[in-house]
Structure 1
């Protein structure tokens, strides 16, 4: 997602009264050079919107999960022995189709993440924002986890389930592991959709965390004057 629209995003989606960035900056206390509470809240909302849009855009792109070595969704560890057996029996193609379907489902589901994050951002209070600014390297990501996990799960599950059904992955998974669990001391979760949904959401939060670190630590990532003011302040540095 391009940054170009973000210059006016505060007026459209996050701030009451449609104040412009310049109007907000004019309230900066001249004596201290530090942002006031309103600026902090505005800057955090702008930063989180940038991070959420970028994260969702990357992961919803073709191969956003599938070719990402860190986030690619594979069979869960407890199923790897079964996977190995299936491959040795010449059924590797079936397993590969299931893995591809898991990642394609996650990529499709990621398209619905940004609006959910933006809704959480709209509800952020000034107290929330100050706590996030001073709360440590991943305070914003943790805020998202608390406020959006339930909504993301609701939005992601049907999309992922449909992707898996297209290749009969859910049926195959349930059939195989229902039998396997009868004889195993370490049963495998037969709900493949739930497993992939959890991994997809974890991937989204990982990318949001990456974006948060960029804005906190890299001045070049602060692409507006408001971000430079808030994240360059002593308050942001003294966490």
Structure 2
């Protein structure tokens, strides 16, 4: 009797395995549900945001990455050229840039929770718009939801670096305001206007904070692009299903 049952058991077991595989293939090819879309996109956003924030918050995450390194605005040449004339002046300027980038790296450590809160508020409509949108649609969604909060996170840290004294008991901000103020008086004079000189109205804190955030969202966009275009970057079954279709 056992000899008869064993072949039957193997046939039935094999048949069940084949049916399970067929069912799995059918399940994989069925249309995405709203729940799957939202869950998959939230997962992708969370993974991408964590990766971008982690990369930038590491030591030299900003400073040694030429894609996102924060430098002084072009208008700052009036400041840097004067400081560079002093002994060790070039090093002073680079130290300022280093401190600014270190401040951005410090701020990036707190970016992931900000992104996480935005992800939880995603609606079904948001999800489908992102899925069918441009290759950086998820990044643009997060930018629209988090920019102001992230700005308020980064700006004080950047400002603290700019307010540190560098030379002659002057901070970068004080040097900037003094030198650009002098330049603007000349540019705004009759002689300056005749020479078509333009005033420098750059708010240094604002400019550098915006550059830091540009770097953050650039990194996030690159992470999103990986998930959309590289199957290897879809590290969970849900991501493979949502972005595979």
TM-score (structure 2 length as normaliser):
0.78
Q: Which moved more, 1:144-153 or 1:190-199?
A: 190-199
Task: Give the whole-Å Cα distance in 1 for the aligned partners of 2:106 and 2:222.
Answer: 21
Look up the SS of the partner of 2:77 in the other structure.
helix
Q: Does 1:61 align with 2:58?
A: yes
Matches within 5 A, 1:209-228: 209-228=221-240
Structure 2 partner of 1:105: 103
Number of residue pairs the alignment of both structures matches? 207
Structure 1 unmatched runs, 5+: 1-25, 234-239
Task: Give the whole-Å Cα distance in 2 for the aligned partners of 1:205 and 1:171.
Answer: 30
Q: Which moved more, 1:159-168 or 1:51-60?
A: 159-168
Cα separation, partners in 2 of 1:92 and 1:201, compared to 1, 3 Å: same
CA RMSD of aligned residues (A): 2.1
TM-score (structure 1 length as normaliser):
0.79
2:135–2:224: 8 Å Cα contact kept in structure 1? yes
Provide Cα deviations, 1:57-108, integer angstroms capped at 9, x if missing partner: 1111111111111111112122235534542455323322221122111111
Select 1:176's aligned residue among 172, 176, 179: 179
Give the 4+ runs in structure 1 shifted more than 3 A: 28-32
Structure 2 unmatched runs, 5+: 1-22, 166-170, 188-196
Structure 1 partner of 2:45: 48
Structure 2 partner of 1:149: 147
Q: Which moved more, 1:214-223 or 1:72-81?
A: 72-81
2:143–2:217: 8 Å Cα contact kept in structure 1? yes
Q: Does 1:187 align with 2:199?
A: yes
Pairwise CA distance, 1:194: 1.2
Cα separation, partners in 2 of 1:149 and 1:79, compared to 1, 3 Å: same
2:107–2:154: 8 Å Cα contact kept in structure 1? yes
1:43–1:227: 8 Å Cα contact kept in structure 2? yes
Cα separation, partners in 2 of 1:96 and 1:31, compared to 1, 3 Å: closer
Q: Which moved more, 1:186-195 or 1:218-227?
A: 186-195
Task: Give the whole-Å Cα distance in 2 for the aligned partners of 1:190 and 1:98.
Answer: 17
1:60–1:109: 8 Å Cα contact kept in structure 2? yes
Q: Which moved more, 1:219-228 or 1:29-38?
A: 29-38
2:60–2:105: 8 Å Cα contact kept in structure 1? yes
Pairwise CA distance, 1:136: 1.4
